[in-house]
Amino acid sequence: MYAVIKTGGKQYRVSTGEKIKVELIAADIGQEIVLDHVLAVGNGAEIKIGTPLVSGASVTATVVAQGKHDKVRIFKMRRRKHYQKRQGHRQQFTELEIASISA
């Protein structure tokens, strides 16, 4: 069984036991959270698509870790103008382990 969920402005296809990294969610490590923005639920060949959400469906997940991704380096330059700008960014994430999917 799998589900398509929406969190942090992105969509993820998840199944039970899977670990995913999503945008930062304010939760403690070990805390169980419920993701109720379920766009689709599938089991083998049959699929249930919501309009826009599947009513009554939810995904339960456990927070495994909080952290930061690798640094992304930003370099801007204007040729012949003596302008250079260097910047770095590390996006925060929450790692979730999917416990169960209920339709």
Residues 22-35, mean pLDDT to the nearest whole number: 97
Q: What is the mean pLDDT of the chain?
A: 96
Whole-prediction pTM: 0.86
pLDDT reported for residue 44 = 87
Q: Where are the beta strands (DSSP E) in 1-103?
A: 2-7, 10-15, 19-23, 32-35, 38-43, 46-49, 58-68, 72-78, 83-89, 92-102
* Cα separation, 36 vs 60, whole angstroms: 9
* Cα separation, 28 vs 98, whole angstroms: 16
Nearest to 96 by CA among 54, 71, 67: 67
Q: What is the pLDDT of residues 58-91, one digit of tens each?
A: 999 999 999 999 999 999 999 999 999 999 999 9
* Cα separation, 100 vs 81, whole angstroms: 57
